[in-house]
Every structure is written in structure tokens, then in C-alpha cells.
Amino acid sequence: MRIIVLTCLCVLYAIVGYSQKHSLTYEEARKVFETIPTDSLSKISVYEVEDTLKYNYLLRFKPGEIITYDNATYKISGKKTLYLQHCGKITIDPKLSLKEINRIEKVIIEKYKQGELFENLINQYSIIKDAGEANTIITINGWVPEREKAFKKHEKDKIFALNVPSLNSYQIILKREPMFSEKVVEVYIPEHKSLYYRL
């Protein structure tokens, strides 16, 4: 029995790994959805304003239904209002020791308070060297409770560390414009969230 279970897991992870580079067939995707617990699946949002046709199509289905749209297979989670936030973001290398990460975070915050441009700090310390990181948009009420608590705690124009060790994510955030909301349909994709996650 143990050998059978291990074999099934190996096949499943082979399918999940394959999905990182190729589109799964409906049956392959269904197998992933039926095997991986729902709370461990990756989830994405389809926005009403940005993708109206797809949004309206997905609204026709009930939570839990598995459907195909534009050659991709999804499992419906449900309709939701997302709260979004403009912010600057510096992503620190998670391969560093926690002690070194904390030291770098303090240095970044202190330099910013002394007048260093956030854009310059991104170039110096972030592993994502992208100018867009200086003013990006992230979801507040997603599946990362630490993020929601941190943004509620800090006011506009405040800089703070946002660390989520369980997801191996360490960032410095500069809160910018006021929060806003958008309607979305959330769907699961046939991947384990540890493979897909991006903060």
C-alpha cells in the first residue's frame, strides 16, 4: 500500500511540475484538483474591469465546479471583492540568514528616513531589479493574513518590514495611495501554491 501511495504522489508531482511549462489537459488538471487539498492549491483572480468577458463567463459557475476557458482549466472558488494597495516593494534575498535579513531591513528603513530615494534602495537591496517595484499594486485581503494586518496597522507613506517566513518572503514596504477595491472571481489553478506563490 505504501508503495502505491508513493507512486501516486510521484505521478502527481510530475504532473504539477509539467504544468509549470505546459498547459494540462482537462483530465490532467482534474486529477490535480482531486488530489491536492483545496487550501493548498494556487489561486488567481479574474478582475471584472481588466477581463470583463472572462469574468462574466466564470460568474455562471458555482464554487467547486471545474471548467475550461481559453485552453486553461480552473476550479471555481467564488466571487469576491479584493482590496488593493499601491506601494513600493523591496524584496530581500530569502537565502540570507534571518539575522542578516533583519539587519538589512533596519538599514533600508533608516536610509529611507534619512532621505534616500526608494528607487535607489530597490537597486541596492532588492533581488527584483525592476523600476515598477517602486509603485506597484498588491492585494491586501488575499490568503496572506500577515499582509492584511501589516497594511491595516500602518498609515500612508509609512515604511515597514513585511515578513512571511512560512512563505519564505521578506520585504520592505512603502505604503502609498489609499486602498481601493475591485470585484473579482477567484479560481484555483492546477498547481500547489508553494510552486506558484508570488507576494
Within a domain: residue 170?
A: yes
Is there a domain that residue 19 lies in?
A: no
Segment 65-90, tens digit of pLDDT: 999 999 899 999 999 998 899 999 99
Average confidence (pLDDT) over 189-195? 78
Residue 141, pLDDT score: 81
In a domain, 30, yes or no: no
Q: What is the largest CA-CA distance in the chain?
A: 63
pLDDT for the residue 195: 55
Q: What is the CATH classification number for the domain harbouring 157?
A: 3.10.50.40
Say if residue 94's pLDDT is above 90: yes
Residue with more model confidence, 147 or 13: 147
- Number of domains the chain is built from: 1
Q: Are 157 and 175 in contact (CB under 8 A)?
A: yes
| CA–CA dist 15, 34 (Å, integer) | 13
Q: What is the per-residue pLDDT across 136-185, written as a single tens digit (0 to 9) for each? A: 998 888 668 888 899 989 999 999 999 999 889 999 999 998 889 999 99
Range of the domain at 73: 46-188
- The confidence score (pLDDT) of residue 177 equals 85
Residue 122 lies in a domain: yes
34 in a domain, yes or no? no
* pTM, rounded to two decimals: 0.65
Please state, rounded to an integer, the average pLDDT across all residues of the chain: 86
Distance CA 129, CA 143 (A): 26
